[in-house]
Structure formats: C-alpha cells, structure tokens
C-alpha cells in the first residue's frame, strides 16, 4: 500500500478540509452547541466592555465639560460650605481664576428624577467652563444674570418637554416657583440633563444664601500643580477636598468596577462552559474516529500533522464562535445603550447618553480569548490522538483506554485543595480575585474527579447487581458504566458543569433576595411613609410642616429622618449620612444590626454613630473606634457604636441620632417621615388628610407593602442577566448532554449490533441506554448539588462581601432546585433514548461487519 501524498501543502489542506467537513456533516448539532457556548461567552464579555467603555467615556467627557479648563476644584466634605472661602482662594498666590459654583439636584413637580441645577458666576465661568454659559436671546443679552432665568441642555428640554420661552416649575422645600427657560446650552453633551442659573439667583431661589458647592481653580502658568494641591489641602484642613477631574473619573470607575467585574465573571463562566463543550466535542470525535485516525497514521500522516489537524478542528470552532460572539456582543451593546442607557443596571453613569463604538483592540482581545479557550478545550484530545499507537488504536474496544489518563485522581484532588485554599485569601484591589479562582479550580477539580468517582460508584453498584439482581438490562447497564467510566464521565461532566453552576447561582440569588426582603421588613416598621420629594436635595420639611403632619387625626406618632452626602475620599463615591431617632442602648429596634455593638455611654465626649458594613472595608472603621467627621461647622469626634446591614448603598452609609445632627448643624429640616397610625385607622384616610395640608401637593406617600414590592421588582430587574444565564446554562448543558449521548451511541453501534446477535432485543438496548443516561445524570446531579452548594458558599460569603461590602443569610430554594433536577434527569434519559433509537435502527449485520 502506498502512502498518501501529504508532502504538498495543497494535499494536506485538502485532507484537512475533508476531515473537518466530514465531521461537521456527521455531527452538526454537537459543533453548533460548542460554537454557541463560545459565542455566548465572547458576546457577554464584549458587550459589557463596550457598554462600560461608552458610558465611562461619555461620562468623562461630561465631567470635563462641567469642570472646563480648571486645574483644581475645592469641595467640602459636606454638600455645601460658606462662600466666604471663595475670596480667600481668589486672592491666593498661584491662582489665576477662581470660579464659585453652586450645584443642586432640583425637583420638578411631576418628575421622579432630579434636574441638576448649576449656579455660576457667568464672568468667572466664561474663563474656565465656557460650556456652562447659556446662549441668551439677541434681544435679552442680560438673561444670564436674571433671577428668573434658567438655561437648559437639549436633553433636559426634551425630558421636561419645554423649549426656550416656556415656564419651568421647580421646588425648594415644599414651595414651588416658576423659572423662565431663557435659552439652551448648545455645547452640553448628549443625554446630559442640566440647567444653569446665575449663582446669586440659585442661592436665593433654593434658600442657599451664602452657600456654594465648589470653587473651580485655574492656576497661574508655571505653578507646580501637585505641590500647590498638597499645600492647599494642608491649609484647608479635613473639612475640604482638593480634587482634579481625574478624581471624579476614578470615583465613577471605582463605583462601577465591582459590578463590571462580576458581569465579566458571568461571561467567563459561559466561556468555561464553552471550553468544556469543545473538549467534549473533540474527545468524543477522537474516540469515534480512533481507528480512522490510526489508519491515517499507518498510511503516512505524521504525529505532528495529526496533532495539528485536531487542534485545527478546535480552532475552527473557536474562530467561528468568537466572530459570531463579537457580532452578537456589539448588537447587544448597541441595543442595551439605546434602550437602557449606560448605567449597567446599577445607575453608575447618570446623565449621559452614550452610543456603542466598535473597538478593534477590544474585539481582537475577545477574539483571541474565545479562540484560546477553544484550543485549550481540544488540547487534551489532540495530544491523545497524536500519542495513540496505530496498532492498538485500530482494534475495536480500545476507546476507554484512550482516556485512561483521566482516571488519575491526584490532579483533581490537588485542584480541589488549591481551590479551598484560595478561599482564605483577601481581596485584591477590592476585588474577589481569589474567590473567582477558587470557583474555577473547584469546577476543574470536580470535572476531573468524575472518571475515578464514576468507576467507584458504578463498580459498587455493578457488584451489588451481580449478587442481587437477575435483570439483564440492569446488569448490562451497570457493567458498561463500571468498565467504561472515562467515556461516561464526558457526559457526566456536561451535566455536572451546567447543574452545579445553576445551583450556585440559584442559591446566591435566592439568599440575596430573601436577605433583602427581611432587611426591608425590619426597616419598614411604620404604617405610612411620607417624603417631600422623590429625588434631589432641594426638598425638605421645616419644623412647622413636621408638626402639621404628626398633628393629623389618626396619627399615633411620627419619626423624622434627614439625609445628606459626605465626600470622605475624592476617589470614592459619597457616603450617605442619615440622621434619625435611634436608641443608643438598643439600636437594633430600628437598625438591622450585623454584629456586636458597644454602649456609647462608655465613651464620654464622643457622639455615637452606626456604620454600614461597607465602611469597615472601604474606610477601615471598627466597632469602638473613634473617628473624626466634618458634620456641622467644625469636625467632631464620634464613636463607632455598631455596624448595620445596608443593601441600598454599597459605597457606605453612616447613621446618627437626629438630635445630635440638629445640635451640630442647626439644621431642623427633614426629608422623610415615618408615621404609626392609631388602631383601626386606614392609611388612605390619613393620606387624604395630608393632601389637604397647604403643602400637601408636594408630598409623596407609600405604604410598606408598596415600597417592598417596588424594591423587589428593582432587585429582579437587576438580576435579570443572572436569571437569563441560569437558563442558558441549563439549555447549553442539555444540548451538551444530547450531543454527547448521540455521539457515544453512534460510536457504540458495533457493540449494539453484537448484543443484537446474541439475543438482546432492541427494546432492551433502548432501556439500557435510557438507564445509562438517567444514572449518569443522577450522579451528575448529586455531585452538582454538592459542588454547586460549595460554590454558592463562596459567592455568598466571599464574592459578595468582597465585591459589594455586605453580608447576607444563606437560603436554599429547595423547590426550584428539585424541580430543575427532575427536569434535567428526565431530559437526560429521554436524550439518551432518542439517540439510541437512531443508533439501533440499522441492520444488525451492518453494525458488526467491520469486526469480521
């Protein structure tokens, strides 16, 4: 027999095309499933990157537009500070121009979101931030200084449904006043909802006389900015922050980083599933064609050429899946940005309207990632095909021997141990990197442990059946699984991967959902909640209005709450400061405590505060620690009296007694009121009475059940991607099981033919296949429960606390998990049965004639 003419490149490529084309024509579904999994992972990762890049770039451009050409900005830790600092800065050596700015989040009646109002000194601002100067009408050149004029960006006009010349109503406290839309801000960025007023008019209209939010500074040419910044920070003290535009960009990036990384990890899980499916596809393909590949070796194909061929087949899957994923990812990003904006579901980039831009560098990175994953998936089968001895591989029945290396348990055990060790490491740069590494190692270790585990379990069951069962189908099924555990483990791995990930995600989401619901139940203890505005910082209730509310007939008592923002770190998001009535000796009555507390009476001279869990991680607070906070005119010392759980603010929150806050700030206004009603008094009756108050039109009302329902809807919407990925994981897993069983039953056609020759009926073979599928799925489900439970512990107690700085209680959704297990078990058995019908449909002689 002459060797194949494989020395010419054209002959080699022709052979490779024949082999790839033949394999695809024979098993198209299996290839499509592997391509789909890789495409899904690439699409999710690429879409998340494009969405975030577009939103962040647009947000940065908007921030630079507001900051203009300023070199530095001086802000207070509190939202507002005395404008007396402005002339001091303007006269300081090294400062060329100082521009005072008042920033407010104003409420327009009928709107749930706030409009950012920026009060400027038009003459100063023109030299630093000309984009903020409104375009006045030609016949009214002094509207930029008028006390009744506001200039709106195009996005704000569209949102508020007004145009130049119209009247716009805004709210200060509970009072509404009218402003004239004098013109537009033609250089505002798309989606940027802002309004600009004269700073004196803004101070008067919104009751902020003598207060400003920041001072933009343009330094004299030649001044060393870092040195000047350090000197100014030292002179101003702890109550002020000296920042740059880059600090605001870093703040936005840090705020969304954990959310981005977790979404990307979901994409990596999809890619991991794709890698396993590529491995399964190529491993089964190599096993089925074992004798064919050996024959090619005999007639002249070298070991290196065979290795290249198998790797090429996997690379083709990766290339097609990656290209498809890039296209789908770009379409997903464009649709998400158009429909939902660029906040990634978390509201991290408000006030921008980004559009998707195709990034060639990012596309190349994700393309290489998808292709590399496919190559890694087919590396082991390719090496096995190249190492196989042709003489042995030509014999029938040697398929399971080819996977003998999988039966070695030590690499799997090492992977599991290393994964367990990774759970003990701290976060890296505030991210649970080792937590994700631990999950990957546990998955790899569990999948690698399946061959010896399957051999152990099915050998024991087979021995038991030999002694106690006379049923031939049962004994044949268990004997097959016990003596070919390596092939069985490939199908088992598909079930294990999909089901364990589904279990882990379901437990994590259920635990979070139940924890949030319990948290809301603890916080929402009143019968009715009243607030002066849905958003913004210009609403409020003065003492007279507070008294009028609690004097309504049917109200037993009321508790008030004041909240504001503190900027403790220029590179981090603001921290919420909440003042309310708290019993220092028993704070658990109103706060969902998450640890031990200390009595503030033991620490004389310091007012107590209770901090959220995020403050421990982000700012290093500890219970009993004394901290300095700039609340009021001068910074004061506080004692951290306890830690409470807060699922609303991952950037940190501080609670203090309302009486202490009012003593330090002399601020008697409040934002929210919690009302406890007298027995048998319906909430609707009290709401009607509140609406009849002189300021009743400015109030909003909600019962605890409404707030809880809205909050849970927001929760479910935020986790919609997770729910979708759970479904996709199960579907991909089932397709993988289908493709695996189909390939195995076709490869066992000779075995089935021999069984038919010795008297086994077709129905018995089908029953045997259904039993094999059910037993493999059952073992995969049992191990998947254990593995998924372990992964869920990492997600609940490591990934979430390190990512979002909150803890939760563990909750297992047994009903949903058992239902998913039953569906998967029945589907696996039905899949094996359907594949077997095709495999045993041929003639008996044709199935075994190759062995004659």
pLDDT for the residue numbered 54: 79
Residue that is written with structure tokens 């986790």 in the block = 719
| Long-range contacts (CB closer than 8 Å, 24 or more residues apart) made by 339-344 | 341/55, 341/191, 342/51, 342/52, 342/54, 342/55, 342/56, 342/58, 342/59, 343/55, 344/48, 344/51, 344/52, 344/55, 344/256, 344/259, 344/260, 344/263
Name the pairing type of β-strands 167-172 and 114-120. Answer: unpaired
Whether residue 60 has pLDDT greater than 80: no
pLDDT for the residue numbered 288: 65
Q: Which two tokens stand for residue 32?
A: 């499509």
Whether residue 838 has pLDDT greater than 50: yes
Mean pLDDT score of the chain: 82
Domain ranges of the chain: 1-69+254-395, 72-243, 528-702
Mean pLDDT of 692-703: 89
Model confidence at 792, pLDDT cuts 50, 70, 90, reads very high
Tens digit of pLDDT for each residue in 573-602?
889 999 999 998 889 999 999 877 887 666
Alpha-carbon gap, residue 111 to 168, rounded angstroms: 12
Mean pLDDT of 723-743: 64
pTM, rounded to two decimals: 0.81
pLDDT for the residue numbered 551: 94
Sequence-distant (≥ 6) Cβ neighbours of residue 79 within 8 angstroms: 213, 537, 564, 565
Between 674 and 282, where is the model more confident?
674
Minimal CA–CA distance to 206: which of 288, 112, 111, 107?
107
Model confidence at 774, pLDDT cuts 50, 70, 90, reads confident
Mean pLDDT of 45-56: 80
Alpha-carbon gap, residue 670 to 668, rounded angstroms: 7
Q: What share of the chain in percent tops pLDDT 90? A: 33
Alpha-carbon gap, residue 215 to 284, rounded angstroms: 68
CB contact at 8 A, 683 and 703: yes
Q: Where are the beta strands (DSSP E) in 477-549?
A: 528-531
CB contact at 8 A, 72 and 206: no
**How many other CB atoms are there within 10 angstroms of residue 77's CB atom?**
21
Tens digit of pLDDT for each residue in 63-88?
777 777 888 999 999 989 999 999 99
**How many other CB atoms are there within 10 angstroms of residue 834's CB atom?**
17
Give me the torsion for CA of 837, 841, 844, 850, rounded to 10°: -90
Q: What angle do CA 62, 66, 71 make, to 5 degrees?
A: 115
pLDDT for the residue numbered 290: 66
Whether residue 696 has pLDDT greater than 80: yes
Mean pLDDT of 85-93: 93
pLDDT for the residue numbered 2: 46
Sequence-distant (≥ 6) Cβ neighbours of residue 311 within 8 angstroms: 375, 378, 379, 382
Whether residue 1 has pLDDT greater than 60: no
pLDDT for the residue numbered 852: 41
pLDDT for the residue numbered 851: 45
Whether residue 6 has pLDDT greater than 70: no
Name the pairing type of β-strands 194-198 and 149-152. Answer: antiparallel
Exposed, middle or buried by CB within 10 Å (0-12, 13-18, 19+), for 128?
A: buried
Mean pLDDT of 200-220: 93
Q: Which two tokens stand for residue 340?
A: 């939902």
Between 519 and 376, where is the model more confident?
519
Rg (CA), the chain: 34
CB contact at 8 A, 836 and 771: no
CB contact at 8 A, 77 and 239: yes
Helix (H) or strand (E) holding 735: helix 720-747
Q: What share of the chain in percent tops pLDDT 70? A: 81
């Amino acid at each position: 027999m002459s060797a194949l003419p494989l020395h010419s490149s054209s002959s080699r490529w022709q052979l490779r095309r024949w082999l790839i084309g033949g394999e695809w024509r024979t098993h198209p579904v299996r290839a499509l499933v592997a391509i789909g999994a890789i495409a899904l992972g690439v699409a999710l990762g690429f879409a998340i990157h494009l969405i975030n890049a577009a939103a962040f770039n647009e947000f940065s451009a908007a921030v630079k537009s507001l900051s203009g050409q300023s070199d530095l900005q001086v802000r207070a830790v509190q939202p507002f500070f005395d404008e007396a600092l402005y002339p001091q800065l303007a006269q300081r050596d090294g400062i060329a121009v100082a521009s005072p700015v008042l920033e407010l989040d104003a409420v327009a009646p009928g709107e749930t979101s706030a409009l950012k109002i920026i009060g400027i000194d038009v003459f100063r601002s023109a030299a630093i931030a000309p984009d903020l100067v409104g375009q006045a009408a030609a016949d009214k050149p002094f509207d930029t200084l008028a006390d009744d004029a506001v200039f709106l960006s195009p996005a704000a006009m569209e949102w508020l449904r007004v145009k130049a010349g119209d009247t716009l109503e805004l709210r200060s406290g509970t009072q509404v006043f009218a402003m004239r839309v004098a013109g537009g801000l033609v250089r505002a960025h798309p989606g940027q909802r802002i309004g600009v007023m004269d700073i004196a008019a803004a101070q008067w209209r919104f009751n902020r006389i003598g207060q400003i939010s920041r001072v933009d500074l343009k330094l004299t040419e030649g001044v060393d900015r870092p040195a000047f910044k350090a000197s100014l920070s030292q002179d101003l003290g702890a109550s002020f922050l000296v920042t740059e535009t880059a600090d605001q960009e870093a703040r936005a990036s840090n705020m969304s980083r954990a959310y981005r990384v977790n979404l990307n990890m979901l994409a990596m899980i999809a890619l991991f599933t794709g890698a396993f499916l590529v491995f399964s596809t190529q491993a089964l393909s190599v096993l089925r064609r074992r004798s064919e590949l050996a024959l090619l070796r005999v007639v002249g194909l070298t070991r290196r050429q065979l290795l290249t061929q198998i790797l090429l087949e996997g690379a083709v899957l990766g290339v097609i899946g990656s290209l498809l994923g890039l296209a789908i990812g770009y379409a997903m990003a464009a649709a998400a940005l158009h429909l939902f904006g660029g906040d990634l579901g978390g509201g991290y980039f408000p006030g921008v309207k980004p559009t998707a831009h195709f990034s060639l560098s990012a596309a190349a990175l994700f393309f290489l990632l998808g292709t590399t994953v496919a190559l890694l998936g087919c590396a082991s089968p390719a090496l096995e095909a190249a190492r196989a001895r042709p003489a042995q591989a030509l014999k029938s029945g040697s398929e399971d021997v080819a996977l003998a290396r999988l039966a070695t348990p030590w690499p799997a055990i090492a992977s599991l141990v290393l994964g367990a060790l990774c759970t003990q490491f701290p976060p890296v740069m505030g991210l649970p990197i080792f937590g994700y590494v631990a999950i990957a190692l546990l998955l790899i270790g569990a999948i690698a442990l399946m061959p010896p585990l399957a051999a152990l379990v099915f050998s024991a069951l087979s021995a038991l059946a030999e002694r106690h069962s006379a049923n031939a189908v049962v004994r044949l099924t268990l004997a097959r699984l016990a003596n070919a555990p390596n092939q069985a483990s490939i199908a088992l791995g598909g079930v294990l991967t999909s089901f364990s990930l589904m279990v882990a995600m379901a437990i994590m989401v259920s635990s979070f959902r139940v924890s949030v619901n319990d948290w809301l139940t603890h916080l929402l203890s009143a019968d009715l909640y009243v607030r002066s505005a849905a958003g913004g910082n210009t609403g409020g209730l003065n003492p007279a209005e507070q008294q009028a509310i609690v004097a309504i007939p049917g109200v037993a008592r009321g508790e008030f709450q004041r909240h504001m923002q503190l900027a403790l770190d220029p590179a981090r998001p603001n921290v919420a400061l909440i003042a309310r009535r708290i019993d220092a000796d028993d704070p658990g009555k109103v706060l969902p405590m998450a640890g031990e507390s200390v009595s503030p009476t033991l620490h004389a001279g310091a007012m107590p505060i209770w901090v959220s869990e995020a403050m421990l991680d982000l700012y290093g607070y500890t219970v009993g620690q004394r901290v300095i906070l700039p609340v009021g005119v001068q910074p004061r010392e506080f004692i951290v009296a306890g830690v409470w759980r807060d699922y609303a603010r991952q950037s940190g929150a501080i609670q203090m007694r309302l009486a202490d806050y009012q003593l330090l700030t002399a601020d008697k206004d409040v934002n929210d009121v919690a009302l406890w009603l007298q027995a048998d008094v319906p909430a609707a009756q009290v709401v009607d009475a509140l609406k009849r108050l002189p300021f009743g039109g400015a109030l909003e009302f909600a019962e605890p059940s409404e707030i809880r329902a809205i909050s849970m809807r927001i929760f479910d919407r935020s986790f919609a991607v997770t729910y979708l990925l759970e479904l996709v994981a199960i579907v991909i897993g089932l397709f993988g099981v289908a493709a695996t069983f189909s390939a195995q039953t076709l490869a066992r056609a000779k075995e089935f033919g021999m069984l038919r020759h010795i008297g086994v009926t077709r129905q018995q073979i089908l029953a045997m296949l259904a039993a094999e599928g059910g037993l493999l799925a059952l073992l995969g489900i049992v191990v998947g429960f254990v593995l998924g439970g372990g992964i869920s512990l990492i997600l609940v107690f490591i990934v979430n606390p390190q990512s979002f700085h909150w803890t939760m209680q563990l909750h297992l959704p047994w009903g949903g998990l058992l239902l998913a297990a039953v569906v998967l078990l029945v589907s696996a058995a039905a899949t094996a049965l359907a594949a077997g019908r095709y495999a045993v449909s041929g003639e008996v002689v044709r199935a075994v004639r190759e062995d004659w």
